[in-house]
Amino acid sequence: MLKNLTPVTPRGEATRRKLLSAAEVEFGVKGFHNASVSSITTHAGVGQGTFYLYFHSKEEIFSNLVREIGHNLRQTIAKVEVEQHERLDIERRSLEAFLNFAQEHPGLFRIVQEAQFVDDEAFRDYYERLAGAYCQALTRATARGELLPGDAEVRAWSLLGIGHFLGMRYCLWNRRMPESHIVDEAMQMIHYGIAPRAEMH
């Protein structure tokens, strides 16, 4: 097993993050196979030899990047949990936070989807950690009486799907945040479902 290359100084950590930021751009634009260690180091403004002080290979920095993106996204959503109190308000703010994140990280969808073929463990970890945290939040909200009883895991994956495809449709393809009425429509469906009101009783 390869030894984990962990920076031991703040300067080293800054260089590592510079490489990860460059990798996000290179992988996001070119894809895993067309990006290279040399293109990453050129973008980061460091020597190619410096790369190998922090990562063993292109595959390793890619896997680290997927996990880093997942961690940052979960932190972004967690801040919403702290700032909001009612679950349905949290749902809207979390959706908006994800869409903003997708807008700020244009390579997000390509990188995460390619992970399925480069590092399936990192690919699954990205979604399972996201869904796991979401499931726990929904379970807590249900216990507080803010949501109807139901399967929190199924709900978590379903709600993640809404955010994922809205992000792909608007942030990735249109390169912009969706207008507020689009988020309104998504929240209307989350609040009430899609059945006619008479059939809900």
**Would the pLDDT of 2 be above 80?**
no
Tell me the pTM: 0.92
What mean pLDDT, rounded, does the chain reach? 94
In this predicted structure, the answer to whether residue 201 has a pLDDT above a threshold of 80 is: no
Domains 1-56 and 58-200 share a fold: no
Q: Which fold has domain 58-200?
A: Tetracycline Repressor; domain 2 (1.10.357)
Domain 1-56 maps to which CATH number in 3.40.50.300, 1.10.10.10, 1.10.3720.10, 1.10.10.60? 1.10.10.60
pLDDT tens-place string over residues 55-98: 999 999 999 999 999 999 999 999 998 998 899 999 999 999 99
**Does the structure show a pLDDT above 90 at 8?**
no
CB 148 within 8 A of CB 124: no
Distance CA 155, CA 150 (A): 8
Write out the two tokens for 91. Answer: 């749902």
Give domain limits for the chain.
1-56, 58-200
Summarised one tens digit per residue, pLDDT across range 146-172 is: 999 999 999 999 999 999 999 999 999
Cα–chain-centroid distance for residue 163?
10
